[in-house]
Amino acid sequence: MDLQASAYTRSFRPEDEAYGWDGVETLAYKEEGSAPFRAVTRQVLFEEAEHGCQLRYFEVEPGGHTTLERHEHVHAVLVLRGRGTSLIGEEVREIGEHDLCRVPPLTWHQFRAAEDAPLGFLCLVSSQRDRPQLPTPEDLAIIRRDPSVAAFIRV
């Protein structure tokens, strides 16, 4: 790895340091208390005006989870490291390194890291996008009709 600063490259940190990129800020996943989640961070890797989209890296700590939510915009996900389980629609599925997931519009989804491994994933979204919706009690009643989904979700 080159140690001098680069005009074009952000180096990934060596293995013995915190997982992430030099010069890329680690942000809160969401504002605390705004939605139910646990142990998730967010880093914006690329956002170009001409692309009209944003590439983010989310990392869920072992045992943590993202928010159960849905929205009009599409999520394109690539697991960068670790493993866990995804809920997309009514599909609960184990996911691991480099798996691809597509979350269609208005589809309930949640990602959970394994108990003994983090789940780190890239997520591509449109820069212009609607705000996530949280499930109402009525939504939850419907979502919970499937026993495997009911057992999976954290709200």
Which residues carry out catalysis? Answer: 123
In the shown chain, the binding pattern of residues 43 to 82 toward a second copy, with x for contact by CB under 8 A and - for none, equals: --xx-x-xxxx-x-----------------xx-x-xxx--
First to last CA, the chain: 42
Q: Does 101 bind a second copy (CB under 8 A)?
A: yes
In the shown chain, the binding pattern of residues 105 to 144 toward a second copy, with x for contact by CB under 8 A and - for none, equals: -----------------x-xxx------------------
According to DSSP, the β-strands at 38-48 and 53-65 are antiparallel
- Provide the minimum distance between the beta carbon of 105 and a second copy in the complex, in angstroms, as a whole number: 9
Asked if 37 contacts 44 with a C-beta cutoff of 8 angstroms, the reply is no
Is the CB of 6 or the CB of 34 nearer to a second copy? 6
Q: Which helix (H) or strand (E) holds 78?
A: strand 75-88
Is the CB of 104 or the CB of 141 nearer to a second copy? 104
CA quadruple 139, 73, 97, 113: dihedral sign: negative
SS3 category, 56: strand
- How far apart are the C-alpha atoms of 31 and 42, rounded to whole Å? 11
Q: Which residues bind a second copy (CB under 8 A)?
A: 1-2, 6-12, 21, 24, 45-46, 48, 50-53, 55, 73-74, 76, 78-80, 86, 88-89, 91, 93-104, 122, 124-126
